Amino acid sequence: MTIADYATALVTGASSGIGAATVRALCDRGLETWALARRPERLAELSAETGCHTLAADVRDGSGLDAALEGLKIDVLVNSAGVGRGMEGLLTASPEDIAATTETNLGGTLQAIRALAPGMVARRRGHIVNIGSIMGLYPMSAVIYGATKGGIHMLGSTLRLELQGSGVRISEVSPGRVHSEFFAANLKDPAGAEALNTAFKLLTPEDVAASVVFVVDAPAHVNVSMVELCAVEQIPGGVQIAPLET
């Protein structure tokens, strides 16, 4: 089952960045695509550009999400909604930072899957693509964000067990640093956010969207369980050892 065998798609977090780029890519491949996000004005611009349908909803609100998605038969779900509040550190984060990041990144992904996967199982066709992060795969500096993306990583593996035999495929696309609004929207230091966006040639949202298309376009008997992609100059891993205090 390649992308040509699917008819419909829904992308969360579609108002900017990876989500918007994925909507464009899926529309270009002929899928009838729904773009879901909290900012209706951004969605309207995307719809005018691509012809996508729009849904103004918050993935954190399970009952509201159910109402927004009622009656939709979605073949491809791309969970791209995400925030990075509290990136400066867990010990300095506010309760609101922790709630916003965990409820959006992990909770919102679970809510979207809960709402749409039963229909995929009933139709015995579908593909769920979760946008993870290398911060969920390697120890890095953002505890809260990394924990939620680590949850996304484990979600894919365990969900494949739950859906075994259903014909529904589960993939994770985990990018490194992407040039987008993410840093400016989540970091308190504008200069630091700009530095992260310009330190080297970062991935683009279109690079990540291309990986989404790649996993969805695999043959029916192939499940691309994970794609990890980084800019050439970003190498995850390595060890940093803090000097002991004497």
Distance of CA 216 to the CA centre of its chain: 14
- Residue 219's φ and ψ, nearest 5 degrees, are -60, 160
- Supply 4's token pair: 């040509």
Which residues lie across from 170 on neighbouring strands? Answer: 128
Beta-strand relationship, 126-131 and 32-37: unpaired
> Given phi > 0 = left and psi -120 to 50 = alpha, else beta, which region is 221?
alpha
> Which residues make Cβ contacts (< 8 Å) with residue 225, sequence separation at least 6?
156, 157, 160, 170, 171, 172
Rounded Cα–Cα distance for residues 169 and 215 (Å): 10
Q: Which of 145, 169, 193, 224 is catalytic?
A: 145
- CB under 8 Å to 221, separation ≥6 — which residues? none
DSSP code string of 56-115: E--TT-HHHHHHHHTT---SEEEE-----TTTT-TTT--HHHHHHHHIIIIIHHHHHHHH
The question of whether 138 is a catalytic residue gets the answer: no
Q: 3-state SS of the chain: helix, strand, coil percent to 5? A: 45, 15, 40
Catalytic residues: 145
